[in-house]
């Protein structure tokens, strides 16, 4: 089975460096027309430079692929709309959207200014929302779409000094979980990548000696499969890095059921706390109502 993207149009945000660059070049090499979006800013989101996006486009063109550079700021409503308008005018469609753009402003919560918190959330979370919202009608119209959100281990499990980043990265999982329901009848899948890569952002965390093993090119295959026609899974969270690939699920313990018609006290919970928090036999739920229905079962007792 050969996976290709001939005739497909893809947007990759934050594609001037690192993971985005790797994703964009791979898709273009396999036949996609790619929009390389990047404002060309510093790791904290400041500044603007057309160079990074254009360099990636030049590399794609030199290899025989088709790509255009876009430097609109997807963290703003106007920027996301301008990006989508350019795609509509040039191709009239968008088949693949990889929400990859991000910045870092690490600091302990106690010392963090609100501007640094909201600034990170605007790029990672609202940027993903805005571009997806602009592109969603095109995908519905063509009855096809493959969307990627990008989370991280910090969002899934927490990391000291990254409350802003972790908050935004967990938020996009909630976005995915809702959109996967709305996209099903339009053949739109929405999945999330949890990458571990030696990029500009990753370089602030990982030691130098492991950076060569954390090449972005070892992450991109996960994205490449998720955005292919062959993959119809939706709502997946896939960890990828250094050749390791895994699926992440949010699960709920079996818990306990106390009679809903009777009074329940905190002392009763204290006594049963071990059973409530016992994760053996924990199960995932495909949607919110499935989890709620589990609670309703207690009302029939």
The pLDDT assigned to 290 comes to 87
pTM of the predicted model as reported, rounded to 2 decimal places: 0.94
Contact between 35 and 12 under an 8 Å Cβ cutoff? The reply is yes
Looking at the structure, do residues 147 and 202 belong to the same domain, yes or no?
yes
For residue 2, tell me if it sits in a domain: no
The answer on 260 and 190 residing in a single domain is no
- For residue 270, tell me if it sits in a domain: yes
Higher pLDDT, 209 or 126: 126
Domain span at residue 175?
9-248
Contacts of 259 (CB under 8 A, 6+ apart): 301
Give the CA distances from residue 28 to residues 23, 68, 135, 150, 155, in Å, rounded to whole numbers and listed in that order: 9, 11, 19, 20, 30
Task: State whether 144 and 98 are in the same domain.
Answer: yes
Looking at the domain assignment, is residue 227 inside a domain? yes
Band (201; pLDDT cuts 50, 70, 90)? low
Tell me the pLDDT band of 202, cut-offs 50, 70 and 90.
low
User: Does residue 202 fall inside a structural domain?
Assistant: yes
Question: Region 109-116: what's the mean pLDDT?
Answer: 98
Among residues 217, 233, 248, the one where a domain terminates is: 248
Domain of 226, CATH number, reads 3.40.50.720
Q: Are residues 255 and 121 in the same domain?
A: no
CB-based contact 7:27 (threshold 8 Å) = no
Tell me whether residue 212 is in a domain: yes
Q: Is residue 3 part of a domain?
A: no
Is the domain of 84 the same as that of 168? yes
Q: Does residue 90 sit in the same domain as residue 190?
A: yes
Q: How many CB atoms lie within 10 A of CB 286?
A: 12
- Structural domain includes residue 75: yes
Same domain, 194 and 219: yes
Q: 169 with 280, same domain? A: no
The reported pLDDT for the residue numbered 260 is 79
Out of 5, 144, 157, 165, which one is annotated catalytic? 165
Q: In the chain, what percentage of residues exceed pLDDT 90?
A: 87
Catalytic residue flag (residue 285) = no
Residues 13 and 146 in one domain: yes
pLDDT given at position 175: 98
Do the domain assignments include residue 222?
Answer: yes
The pLDDT value recorded for residue 299 is 63
Q: Give the mean model confidence (pLDDT) for residues 23-28.
A: 98
Give the number of domains in the chain. 2
Q: What is the mean pLDDT of residues 266-281?
A: 97
What lies within 8 Å, CB to CB, of 163 at 6+ separation is: 109, 112, 117
167 plus 138 within the same structural domain: yes
Say yes or no to pLDDT of 298 above 70. no
Task: Name beta bridge partners: 239.
Answer: 194, 246
Q: Are both 269 and 149 inside the same structural domain?
A: no
Looking at the structure, tell me whether residues 264 and 205 fall in a common domain.
Answer: no
Length of the chain, in residues: 301
């Amino acid at each position: 089975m050969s996976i290709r993207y001939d005739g497909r149009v893809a947007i990759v945000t934050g594609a001037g460096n690192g993971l985005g660059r790797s994703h964009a070049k791979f898709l273009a090499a396999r036949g996609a027309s790619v929009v390389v979006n990047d404002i060309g800013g510093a790791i904290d989101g400041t500044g603007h430079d057309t160079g990074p996006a254009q360099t990636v486009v030049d590399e794609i063109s030199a290899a025989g692929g088709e790509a255009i550079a876009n430097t609109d700021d997807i963290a703003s409503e106007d920027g996301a709309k301008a990006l989508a308008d350019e795609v509509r005018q040039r191709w009239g469609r968008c088949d693949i959207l990889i929400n990859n753009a991000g910045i870092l402003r690490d600091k302990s919560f106690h010392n963090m200014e609100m501007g640094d918190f909201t600034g990170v959330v605007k790029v990672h979370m609202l940027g993903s929302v805005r571009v997806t919202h602009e592109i969603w009608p095109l995908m519905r119209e063509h009855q096809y779409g493959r969307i990627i959100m990008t989370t991280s281990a910090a969002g899934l499990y927490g990391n000291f000094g990254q409350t802003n980043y972790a908050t935004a990265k967990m938020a996009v999982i909630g976005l995915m979980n809702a959109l996967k329901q709305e996209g099903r009848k339009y053949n739109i899948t929405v999945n999330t990548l949890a990458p571990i890569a030696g990029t500009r952002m990753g370089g602030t965390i990982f030691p130098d000696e492991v950076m060569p093993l954390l090449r972005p090119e070892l992450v991109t295959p996960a994205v490449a499969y998720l955005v292919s026609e062959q993959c119809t899974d939706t709502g997946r969270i896939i960890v990828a890095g250094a050749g390791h690939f895994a699926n992440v699920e949010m699960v709920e313990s079996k818990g306990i059921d106390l009679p809903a018609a009777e009074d329940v006290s905190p002392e009763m919970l204290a006594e049963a706390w071990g059973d409530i928090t016992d994760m053996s036999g924990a199960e995932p739920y495909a949607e919110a109502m499935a989890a709620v229905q589990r609670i309703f079962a207690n009302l029939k007792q």
